Structure formats: C-alpha cells, structure tokens
Amino acid sequence: MLLATSLVIMMVSAGFVLSSAVDVDGWLHFWGFRPEEIMAAVVDPLDPQHSLALLGLLSALFLHADWVHLIGNLAYLWVFGISVEKAVGHWRFLTLFLGLGAAANAFTAWQMQGVGTLAVIGASGGVSAIIGVYLGLFPRRRIGLWLPLGLYMQFARVPAVLVIGSWFTLQLLYSVFGPEQHAVAWSAHLAGFGLGLAAALMLRLFPASINLRYRDD
C-alpha cells in the first residue's frame, strides 16, 4: 500500500480545506515562512522566536493558495510519488519529501531576502524533490501520457527523461523570465529537483536500500 504518498496527499488537501474555512490570510501568514525571519534564524538560531520560525519551512509544504496550485502539486505527487515510495519505502519517502522540501524552502528564503513579510507557501519544493528522485532512480522508464495527435487524443509512452527534462526547462525559464517576480517561488522547484536528483544518486550507491524490482519497467 502507498501509505506515505496517500498520507502526504491527505495532509496537503486537509491544509487547503482548513485554510479555506478560517481566516485565509491569517492562516497562511502563521503557517507559511517569511524569508527575512528564516535568515534571521540562521544568524541567531538560539533565539526561541527564530527557532519557531524555522518550523515554517515544514508547515508551508502543506499550504496552498488556490485549487489550481493544489491540484497541480497533487497530480505530480501521485504520478511520481507512487514509484518512488515503492522503491525507497514509506519512511524514507516521507523523509525525502519533508527534508528535501524544507531544504528547498530554505534555499528560497535565502534567494528571496528583501521581500519583507511576504509569506511563502506550497508543496512545490517537496514535490519537485520527489520528481528529482524519480528521475535519478528510473532514468530509462517511460511515462504514459494522453497526447493530442491529429484529431484525437492518443495514449503514448514517453521517456521520463524527456517529460521531466521539459518540465525542468520550463521551471528554469519561468525563474528567469517569469512575468511576476516572487508570485511563484520557482527557486523552490529548481532547488527541490536538484536535491532530489542528488539524493537518488546517493541511494543508488547503496542498492540494498532500494527495492530493485521497481528500478526499471
């Protein structure tokens, strides 16, 4: 059973539902993270107030601003998370999602210094990390997609490296030429993906830590 993937999806969905039922701005401001506070915590980690701010790097992973943001992340998580969880196990999957997602958020906080009290939210850092892990573990796998070919939608199996490579290229272009600076934390996507890919390459050094039956189709 895909316990970890299902658990993360339920928690992310619950976070969105709860934020919709209360004061949205107050909820997101409290549970999201603010770059300036994160950098202050790095400078003075012993301050209890700063330590509390660091928890926002994790809690922000379970918050979304709208349905489009939520559904997009859940779709990617479901498509890539299933195979990753089968390969690495429940607890390691959770560790990768939470740990690398928080690290991606920390990178975003460093890059977005100077934006004031803007709260950053979203599971994109963790989801992107899982996509990176997937590519590192299954570089030759094909992904089934419905594509508009001619007058009809056709099902095709496309190499994962092509699908993910196209996705990564878009994230890179948006991070440089995005129309609204800081409207989307593209840096979290890029950092999460890079961290996930690096983690997968490390896991491959220890084959006993991976379920080899799921390494290739």
Q: What is the pTM of this model?
A: 0.88
Question: Worst-scoring range by mean pLDDT, 33-47, 125-139, 140-154?
Answer: 140-154
How far apart are the C-alpha atoms of 97 and 196, rounded to whole Å? 9
57-71 pLDDT tens trace: 999 999 887 788 888
Per-residue CA distances from 104 to 54, 96, 193 (Å): 13, 11, 9
Task: Judge contact between 82 and 5, C-beta under 8 A.
Answer: yes
Domain ranges of the chain: 3-141+186-214
Q: pLDDT grade, residue 148 (50/70/90)?
A: low
- For domain 3-141+186-214, give the CATH number: 1.20.1540.10
